[in-house]
Structure 1
Amino acid sequence: MYQTLLTSLENGIFTITINRPDKLNALNKQVMLDLNDAIHEVEANAEIKAVILTGSGQKGFVAGADISEFVGLTSGEGMDLARRGQEIFFKFENCSKPVIAAVNGFALGGGCELAMACHFRIAAENAKFGQPEVNLGLIPGYGGTQRLVQLIGKGRALELLMTGGMIDAPTALQYGLVNYVVPQEELIAKATGLLQTIIAKAPLAISRCIQAANAVFDHTKDGYKQELEAFGDCFNTEDMKEGAAAFLEKRKPNFIGK
């Protein structure tokens, strides 16, 4: 179905693996098209409860964009390219189901931007993060300047953006860019374990957590108002009634996503 992705669905967890290992999984036009289709599949398929996004091999999550596709572009064409990338990455960020990036190696340029568009990140011990676009006379174009500041603060973000330098996994953990650092062989198991915990909760509440948290950085929205409305909406769900009843009856809730 996908030219550049491997996908599998097991126990509600959909794993998307970017599969261009000879290019360290660099983002080209086809990868972007496939990622766009994949995130639509995630939203459309009720059997999918959560997503792990990773790269094939042990060296690269996504080592950047395919720079050969940048050569000869005009200013307008460059903007169109970035606009399309931003639109796709927004779909990951605003996905109604939890998306974890399992960063198994280099996450550079567009790869770092893609990882940051996921709801949170887990890194293998060999992972490296960076936005080296200034080395090409460019800046990040898929949302990297915005999300990096949001995640690690302006000072640290600007240092990475302006030096084009890389940080290792322990530094990314210290900066708050990733939630956990684990050995490479434990990466997918760690992501799976976290998602199993998350998808055992009420799906509609999880979705509203994502919406409300994203509203913090959306200047077109009042995050407190969004939280208030989402909180109220939860009272109309069967899951809230089940959750409250289960708590009072000292039993495990059985959520159905309604």
Structure 2
Amino acid sequence: MSYKNIIVEEERAIATVTINRPNKLNALNKETIQELHDAFEDLESDRQIKVIILTGSGEKAFVAGADISEFADFSEKEGGKLAAKGQELLFNFVENLSTPVIAAVNGFALGGGLELAMACHFRIAGDNAKMGLPEVTLGVIPGYGGTQRLPQLVGKGRAMEMIMTGAMIDADTALRYGLVNHVVAQEELLPTCEKIAGRISKNSSVAIKHAIKAINAGFSSTDNGYEAEIAAFGRCFGTADFKEGTTAFLEKRKADFPGE
């Protein structure tokens, strides 16, 4: 499938999705959001792809925000629909994807860009990264899950301060807050993500799928995380991956998971 605003590259079990709007600092518009949805949906259905890395083109920006020109004149009703559709189509979709998604945060990750990074399963930042939710400086609030995911990651007080001031934080502060897992030199960002993705790809994709679902359940207002874990744990026993993993352990060899 060909795209206008993103680039999808596959190498062995790892896919790299690059948002490619450098003249707009990779800002998210409706077309890009749709293309990202289509790409993630396609990659999830590909059993050969075990991990997805998401990044932005160039070194200036992961995603510098949403394309404000698309919604500056929206009404209240249109604004609500914009947030609802975006969350369903991309942000919630990525969070609940069964294939792990690593955000490689290069440069600015602001507004919708930080919200997209937070929707990924975890984040690794280059040392030049700057992150923030500046929506209140425009008279609006984060609408793609930022008011929910940021407190989950950094705590209520820090999230309140970041959102109310609209200020950016640097990569080291993001690491200290727990917003990112690692900070590396910019030139080491993708190699580091690929190294971690390689380790993930060797494990059971079926077990990872169940782990993602169980972890997310713990942050849901409607699900019981412990019950979700018990159910997922039990289902793992009926998989070919479980049989291969336990047999390989007992035979003192590396497992070769079939992904079933």
Distance between the aligned counterparts of 2:27 and 2:180, measured in 1? 21
Letter in 2 for 1:75: E
The corresponding residue for 2:81 is 80
The corresponding residue for 2:36 is 35
What SS is found at the alignment partner of 1:173? helix
Q: Indicate whether 1:213 and 2:215 are aligned.
A: yes
Distance between the aligned counterparts of 1:52 and 1:62, measured in 2? 14
What SS is found at the alignment partner of 1:16? strand
For residues 42-57 of structure 1, what are the structure 2 equivalents within 5 Å?
Answer: 42-57=43-58
The corresponding residue for 1:189 is 191
Q: Indicate whether 1:6 and 2:7 are aligned.
A: yes
Q: What's the TM-score, normalizing by structure 2?
A: 0.98
Letter in 2 for 1:80: K
Letter in 2 for 1:81: L
Cα distance, 1:99 vs structure 2: 0.3
Gaps of 5+ in 2: none
The corresponding residue for 1:26 is 27
Cα distance, 1:210 vs structure 2: 0.4
Letter in 1 for 2:93: K
Cα distance, 1:83 vs structure 2: 0.7
The corresponding residue for 1:143 is 145
Cα distance, 1:47 vs structure 2: 2.1
Distance between the aligned counterparts of 2:111 and 2:220, measured in 1? 23
Gaps of 5+ in 1: none
For residues 11-62 of structure 1, what are the alpha-carbon distances to aligned partners after superposition, in whole Å with 9 as ceiling and x for unaligned?
Answer: 1111100000111100111111111111111222222211000000000000
For residues 111-143 of structure 1, what are the alpha-carbon distances to aligned partners after superposition, in whole Å with 9 as ceiling and x for unaligned?
Answer: 000000000000000001100000000000000
Distance between the aligned counterparts of 1:251 and 1:139, measured in 2? 52
For residues 15-164 of structure 1, what are the structure 2 equivalents within 5 Å?
Answer: 15-87=16-88, 88-164=90-166
Distance between the aligned counterparts of 1:205 and 1:46, measured in 2? 14
What SS is found at the alignment partner of 2:253? coil
Distance between the aligned counterparts of 1:195 and 1:209, measured in 2? 16
Distance between the aligned counterparts of 1:102 and 1:224, measured in 2? 30
Q: What's the TM-score, normalizing by structure 1?
A: 0.99
Distance between the aligned counterparts of 1:81 and 1:210, measured in 2? 27
Aligned residues: 258
Letter in 2 for 1:128: K
Letter in 1 for 2:104: A
The percent of aligned pairs where both chains have the same amino acid is 60
Letter in 2 for 1:2: Y
Letter in 2 for 1:133: E
Q: Indicate whether 1:239 and 2:241 are aligned.
A: yes
Q: CA RMSD in A?
A: 0.7
For residues 211-243 of structure 1, what are the alpha-carbon distances to aligned partners after superposition, in whole Å with 9 as ceiling and x for unaligned?
Answer: 011011111111111100111111111111111
Distance between the aligned counterparts of 2:30 and 2:237, measured in 1? 43
